């Protein structure tokens, strides 16, 4: 007999929705408990061994509740799902900014069922520290917590700085493998990097700033190896991608084209299936892409529909799944949960649109 796990659902759910979610939970070996008040939900979490959390993504409490759970070490790896009436770029970006793992439509059963069935059977333990130390310098509490969580789950020992003096003092007191610093705490990032390099510190340096200031700060860091900028308002997992790319061994790059961060909603389905599920792209290249989702398709070949970078129309592509990543221990180190695909087919116009969009976007962000 299958032992049922616990799923806590927080939000305003109609009787019809409660019955639907409860039935989906039972089919996926979950007992579902509903709460409408965040305080009661917090109390329930404290007193029960819970394996997943489902949020009404359109409620005003969802953001605060999710961030507070991510602030608790015991819930750093708790799978968080957000329900949304419509699936688009905005709902994904908002949910990721709360520390949510995935977004599903609230009007269909299959997407939620697929995600619950893909969740680990046991608790997800935090990855042991194996990649060294990282300093996260960020004044905004929510952003600080979420970036720290992503890097801790990837195997780093995380230290926080919340003021400019903390950033300077901490950065020069310990040899960090990575320093992630917000421009809100660093008036002169170039001077900071120069000072660290002069002392022999070779920390990778990721400066987070508003999108409109990326070019300015990238120019300020010109000439420094192992230092770059990234969008401060993008999902926290982007910091992990940037730091991983900075840390890649230099030399011959065997990639046919560069991988770049690019986030947009993508419809996907196993070839021959009737309906799309939805995920969010993490990084893309001319030859493939990585899709964030807790329910990667089981099929080897998939149909993908999305808008390429720098394009004003959607394309339909055929991809071959190269690898899948879940929430299990040890799979956080490079990417969030999802699947990577190689583009193997599609209409000629769609493939050309995709490739040209990727080339144009690469030139833009280079």
> What pLDDT, in 10s, does the model give residues 281-307?
999 999 999 999 999 999 999 999 999
pLDDT, tens digit, 9 for 90 and up, residues 89-117: 999 999 999 999 999 999 899 999 999 99
Banded model confidence at residue 258, pLDDT cuts 50, 70, 90: confident
Of the two residues 257 and 217, the one the predictor is more confident about is 217
- Which residues sit opposite 30 in a β-bridge? 5
> Tell me, what's the pLDDT at 254?
58
3-state SS of the chain: helix, strand, coil percent to 5?
35, 25, 40
pLDDT given at position 253: 56
Residue 251 reports pLDDT greater than 80? no
Per-residue pLDDT band at 334 (split at 50, 70, 90): confident
Q: Which pLDDT does position 47 carry in this prediction? A: 94
| Cβ 92 vs Cβ 280: under 8 Å | yes
| Residues sharing a CB contact under 8 Å with residue 135, sequence separation 6 or more, in sequence order | 159, 160, 161, 167, 170, 171, 174, 176, 178, 179, 180, 181, 203
Query: What is residue 59's three-state secondary structure?
Result: coil
Give the number of other Cβ atoms within 10 Å of residue 338's Cβ: 23
Residue 125 has what pLDDT?
65
Which structural domains are found in the chain, ordered by start? 5-118 (3.40.50.2300), 133-246 (3.40.50.2300), 260-365 (2.40.10.220)
Per-residue pLDDT at 144 exceeds 70: yes
pLDDT of residue 345: 97
The three-state secondary structure class of 174 is coil
Would you give the DSSP letter of residue 42? H
Q: What is the mean pLDDT of residues 76-99?
A: 94
pLDDT score recorded for residue 123: 67
Q: In the predicted model, is pLDDT for residue 256 greater than 70?
A: no
Please report, for the chain, how many H helices and E strands are present, in that order.
11, 17
Which of 118-127, 165-174, 351-360 is predicted with the least confidence, judged by mean pLDDT? 118-127
Least confident of 144-148, 176-180, 266-270, 330-334: 330-334
pLDDT in tens, 10-52: 999 999 999 999 999 999 999 999 999 999 999 999 999 999 9
CA gap 86, 76 in Å, rounded: 27
Q: What percent of the chain has pLDDT over 90?
A: 78
Contact between 179 and 147 (Cβ < 8 Å): no
**pLDDT value of residue 102:** 97
């Amino acid at each position: 007999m299958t032992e049922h796990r616990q799923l806590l659902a927080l939000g305003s759910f109609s009787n019809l929705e409660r019955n639907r979610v409860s039935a989906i939970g039972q089919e996926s070996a979950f007992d579902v408990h509903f709460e409408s008040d965040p305080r009661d939900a917090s109390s329930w979490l404290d007193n029960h061994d819970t394996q997943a959390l489902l949020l009404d993504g359109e409620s005003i409490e969802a953001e605060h509740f999710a961030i507070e759970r991510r602030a608790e070490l015991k819930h750093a790896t708790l799978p968080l799902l957000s329900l949304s009436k419509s699936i688009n770029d905005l709902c994904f970006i908002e949910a990721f900014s709360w520390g949510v793992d995935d977004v599903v439509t609230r009007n269909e059963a299959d997407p939620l069922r697929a995600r619950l069935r893909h969740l680990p059977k046991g608790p997800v333990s935090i990855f042991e520290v194996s990649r060294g130390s990282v300093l996260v310098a960020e004044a905004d509490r929510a952003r600080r917590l979420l970036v720290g969580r992503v890097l801790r789950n990837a195997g780093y020992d995380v230290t926080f700085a919340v003021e400019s003096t903390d950033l300077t003092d901490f950065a020069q007191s310990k040899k960090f493998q990575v320093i992630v610093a917000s421009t809100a705490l660093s008036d002169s990032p170039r001077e900071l990097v120069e000072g660290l390099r002069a002392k022999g510190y070779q920390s990778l340096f990721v400066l987070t700033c508003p999108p409109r200031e990326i070019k300015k700060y990238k120019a300020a860091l010109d000439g420094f190896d192992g230092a770059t900028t990234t969008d401060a308002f993008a999902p926290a997992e982007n910091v992990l991608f940037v730091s991983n790319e900075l840390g890649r061994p230099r030399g011959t790059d065997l990639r046919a084209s560069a991988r770049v961060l690019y986030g947009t909603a993508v419809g996907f389905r196993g070839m021959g299936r009737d309906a799309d599920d939805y995920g969010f792209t993490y990084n893309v290249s001319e030859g493939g892409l990585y899709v964030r989702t807790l329910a990667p398709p089981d099929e080897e070949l998939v149909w993908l529909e999305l808008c390429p970078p720098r394009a004003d129309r959607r394309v339909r592509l055929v991809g071959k799944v190269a690898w899948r990543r879940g929430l299990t221990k040890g799979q956080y180190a490079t990417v969030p949960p999802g699947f990577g695909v190689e583009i193997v087919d599609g209409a000629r116009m769609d493939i050309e649109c995709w490739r040209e969009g990727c080339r144009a976007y690469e030139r833009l962000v280079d």
